[in-house]
């Protein structure tokens, strides 16, 4: 790996006593592998795994198994995430103790969004936004796989989100950056680096922060993060947020975590570097917007939405806690206590996903939606569950036809208790309803299931 000489000079200025150790870590050491388990699905501690110090649900693995061939991953039982990025969960748990409206502005692929859903108090509303359409689709898939019904996925430019004046209590901005912290695992980050790229990223970050700032209520939290090392995109950007009208906050950390403090700044900042921690490069700062005021609601005209009849009422654990509407030929259930906020978001933003999609209307039929299979809000008695062995699970995840021992009709396919999705059992075979974009394309059949969470 040939690092740009300008990048090495930058590190020399940042870390006079540590730059060589950081360069060695980037160029010669292997990235760590970590997963964060989904405790909402009853997943506990993986056998023999070492816990990530700042995240109770995070665990290091000894090697990198082929996650693609693990049904537990497809079932949303864990998320593969760099350990440094899991620090967001520690920040949220320290500062947020009541239900909030939370925005993840640059959310794809969904690691920090799903971590936030775990860490936030129950009954919080999470909005995950991603401007780039292909990345927004990946974000939607990962949110659905995680199964939390209190998340809305949107795809909008920051300026449009910023028009939701004082709508959010917390905004997380994991902004696009020069990616220096990913060089150990991403050759493109090495190849694309230049001083000009750093300048361009810093300018774009200032624009993003300025655009979204009005959406944060006075007294609300802004969590700023990058995966890069330079001061322009890190400490200088934290100082820029202060100029917008914010006070930096200190996050309690243990000395044993080896997190590097701010460089040439009195703003509390937290730098993760691979020569110090088992994780990739990450910078984070937390600031509170000056003032104090509650979230504002968006006034919208009530629409005569076509209400669902009895569809889905027997499919949810607590149907009375949801409002069920027909949205673009899909029955959607939204938690009742956030339904007005979700309606306001639909009226203001481009919404890709909200609540739980229950079923798609196809002619006179209603076909259960994959999101319902994945949702933790689904009633355990809603559909028959068909347990299949590992080879059959892989055939299902590839979109192939399978046979199951069950009554005719819609059934859930599961492996070792982990639900993978729907099939329509016709008796002699079962029509595979696993979504085409999610299917495994490789025809490789491992000798055994990868062991991640036991």
Q: Is the pLDDT of residue 43 over 90?
A: no
**What is the rounded end-to-end Cα distance, in angstroms, of the chain?**
36
What CA–CA distance (Å, rounded) separates 52 from 82?
10
Residue 397: pLDDT band (50, 70, 90) is very high
User: Domain 300-382: which topology?
Assistant: Nuclear Transport Factor 2; Chain: A, (3.10.450)
* Mean pLDDT, rounded, of the chain: 94
**Mean pLDDT to the nearest integer, 44-49:** 75
Q: What is the DSSP string of 185-248?
A: T-HHHHHH--HHHHHHHHHHHHHHHHHHGGGEEEEEEEEEEES---STTTHHHHHHHHHHHEEE
Rg (CA), the chain: 23
Q: What is the pLDDT of residues 85-135, one digit of tens each?
A: 999 999 999 999 999 999 999 999 999 999 999 999 999 999 999 999 999
Residues 6+ apart with CB under 8 A from 54: 86, 87, 89, 90, 253, 257
Percent of the chain with pLDDT over 70: 98
pLDDT of the residue at 302 = 57
3-state secondary structure of 117: helix
Q: Given the residues 106, 227, 269, 386, select the one marked as catalytic.
A: 227
- Please tell me the pTM assigned to this model: 0.96
pLDDT of the residue at 247 = 98
pLDDT of the residue at 308 = 57
Q: What is the pLDDT of residues 165-194, one digit of tens each?
A: 999 999 999 999 999 999 999 999 999 999
Q: Give me the half-sphere count of Cα atoms (radius 13 Å) on the Cβ side of residue 112.
A: 30
Give the domain ranges of the chain: 5-30+81-289, 300-382
Q: What is the pLDDT of residues 283-323, one digit of tens each?
A: 999 999 999 999 999 888 755 545 555 677 789 999 999 99
CATH of 5-30+81-289, one of 3.40.50.150, 3.30.70.260, 3.30.70.1140, 1.10.150.130: 3.40.50.150
Ranking 149-153, 253-257, 365-369 by mean pLDDT, the lowest is 365-369
Bridge partners (DSSP) listed for residue 50: 60
pLDDT of the residue at 48 = 75
pLDDT of the residue at 168 = 98
pLDDT of the residue at 44 = 74
Percent of the chain with pLDDT over 90: 88
pLDDT of the residue at 269 = 98
Ranking 30-44, 100-114, 146-160 by mean pLDDT, the lowest is 30-44
Q: Is 386 a catalytic residue?
A: no
Backbone angles phi and psi of 382, in degrees to 5:
-65, -40
């Amino acid at each position: 790996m040939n690092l740009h000489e300008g990048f090495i000079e930058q590190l020399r200025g940042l870390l006079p006593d540590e730059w060589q150790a950081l360069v060695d870590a980037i160029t010669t050491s292997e990235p760590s592998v970590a997963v964060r388990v989904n405790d909402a699905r009853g997943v506990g501690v993986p056998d023999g795994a070492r816990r990530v110090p700042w995240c109770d649900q995070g665990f290091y693995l000894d090697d990198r198994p082929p996650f693609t061939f693990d049904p537990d991953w497809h079932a949303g039982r864990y998320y593969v995430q760099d350990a440094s990025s899991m620090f967001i969960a520690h920040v949220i748990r320290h500062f947020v103790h009541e239900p909030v409206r939370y925005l993840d502005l640059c959310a794809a692929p969904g690691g920090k969004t799903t971590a936030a859903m775990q860490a936030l108090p129950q009954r919080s509303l999470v909005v995950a936004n991603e401007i780039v359409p292909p990345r927004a689709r990946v974000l939607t898939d990962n949110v659905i796989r995680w199964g939390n019904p209190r998340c809305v996925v949107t795809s909008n430019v920051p300026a449009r989100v910023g028009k939701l004046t004082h709508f959010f209590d917390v905004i997380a901005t994991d902004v696009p950056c020069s990616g220096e912290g990913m060089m150990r695992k991403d050759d493109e980050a090495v190849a694309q680096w230049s001083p000009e790229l750093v300048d361009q990223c810093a300018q774009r970050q200032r624009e993003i922060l300025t655009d979204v700032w009005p959406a944060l209520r006075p007294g609300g939290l802004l969590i700023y993060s990058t995966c890069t090392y330079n001061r322009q995109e890190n400490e200088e950007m934290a100082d820029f947020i202060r100029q917008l009208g914010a006070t930096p906050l200190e996050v309690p950390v243990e000395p044993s975590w080896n997190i590097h403090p701010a460089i040439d700044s009195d703003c509390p900042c937290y730098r993760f570097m691979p020569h110090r921690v088992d994780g990739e490069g990450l910078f984070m700062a937390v600031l509170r917007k000056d003032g104090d005021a509650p979230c504002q609601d968006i006034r919208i005209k009530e629409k005569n939405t076509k209400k669902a009849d009895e569809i889905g009422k027997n499919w949810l654990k607590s149907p009375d806690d949801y409002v069920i509407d027909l949205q673009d030929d899909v029955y959607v259930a939204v938690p009742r206590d956030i339904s007005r906020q979700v309606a306001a978001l639909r009226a203001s933003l481009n919404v890709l996903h909200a609540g739980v999609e229950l079923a798609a209307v196809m002619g006179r039929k209603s076909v259960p939606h994959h999101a319902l299979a994945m949702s933790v809000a689904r009633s355990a008695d809603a559909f028959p569950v068909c347990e299949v062995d590992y080879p059959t699970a892989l055939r299902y995840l590839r979109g192939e036809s399978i046979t199951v021992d069950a009554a005719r009709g819609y059934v859930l396919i599961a492996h070792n208790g982990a639900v993978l999705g729907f099939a329509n059992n016709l008796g002699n075979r079962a029509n595979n309803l696993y979504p085409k974009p999610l299917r495994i394309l490789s025809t490789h059949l491992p000798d055994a299931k990868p062991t991640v969470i036991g």
